[in-house]
Amino acid sequence: MAVTTQQLIQWKQQGRSIVALTAWNYAIAQLLDAAGVDLILVGDSMAVVLGYETTLPITLEEMLFHAKSVRRGVKRALIVVDLPFLTYQESFQQAMHSAGLILKETGAQAVKLEGGYPAMVETIARLVQAGVPVMGHVGLTPQSVHQIGLRQQGKTQEAAERILNEAIALEQAGVFSIVLEHIPADLANLVTQKLSIPTIGIGAGPHCDGQVLVTSDVLGLSEKHPPFAKVYTNLRETITKAVENYAVEVRDRKFPQS
């Protein structure tokens, strides 16, 4: 049975941890879904897979293309798609247009927007009222990399209170879940306890209602990965070795065999 936004909320109430990973194409999405991942995020983090240095350059058209590919590979998991930088911040109308394209053209069930400042909370509230399921995202927000860097957020009391208040405001606006990225574990625990919707942590400690990582980090495909990621296998090494072996056999005329 397909996972729904309401099921995620029920799982929080039941104390069942939510498993989330990112995907950028059909093949990866199919594998994640078959392995039992609950939530697949078509994240703008795929910018790195596409060769960009940050998430900022990726376009809505690129997100649409990859989200369609992911959708074709998924039967069970809930699919959430990031809205890229400057495709939702200018106005509610822009956000509605971008979110509408994602839901109508890709078949994804929800979108994710970064930030919990008042204007963003208002935009999200209006999206939810219009029938768009929205996931929130506070703490380290990568689209603000040139403003806040990639360092841990919420380390001071003032910053921690701001993140907590943003999370509460987002819940009140109607988001069904919130990503907590790269914040202290005690702050993530406090936010998780305060909210009735699930928190999905990434670099936010063990107390969130679920965890998400970038799949290329998990599989060891990334050239570098954040300090909070765990590499479960080294596919860069495996793939490189396999290709080297293939190249040797072709050059030595051992492949194909007659």
DSSP string, 139-184: ES-GGGHHHHTTS----SHHHHHHHHHHHHHHHHHT-SEEEEES--
Task: Compute the Cα dihedral for 238, 240, 246, 248 and give only its sign.
Answer: negative
- Residue 38 labeled ligand binder: no
Region class of 72: left (phi > 0), else alpha (psi between -120 and 50), else beta = alpha
Strands (E), the chain: 18-22, 39-42, 78-82, 110-112, 134-139, 177-181, 199-202, 210-213
Residue 82 labeled ligand binder = yes
Q: Which two tokens stand for residue 230?
A: 């765990």
What amino acid positions are annotated as catalytic residues?
Answer: 181
Is residue 155 a known part of a binding site? Answer: no
What is d(CA 133, CA 61) in angstroms, rounded to the nearest whole number?
20
Under 8 Å between Cβ of 180 and 191: yes
User: What phi-psi label fits residue 88: left (phi over 0), alpha (psi between -120 and 50 degrees) or beta?
Assistant: alpha
Q: Which helix (H) or strand (E) holds 124?
A: helix 118-129
d(CA 159, CA 171): 19
Q: Measure the CA–CA gap between 224 and 229, rounded to whole angstroms.
A: 10
Contact 88, 53 (CB under 8 A): no
Instruction: Mark the binding-site residues for 3-methyl-2-oxobutanoate, compressed into ranges.
Output: 44-45, 82, 112
Instruction: Mark the binding-site residues for Mg(2+), compressed into ranges.
Output: 44, 82, 114
Instruction: Mark the binding-site residues, compressed into ranges.
Output: 44-45, 82, 112, 114
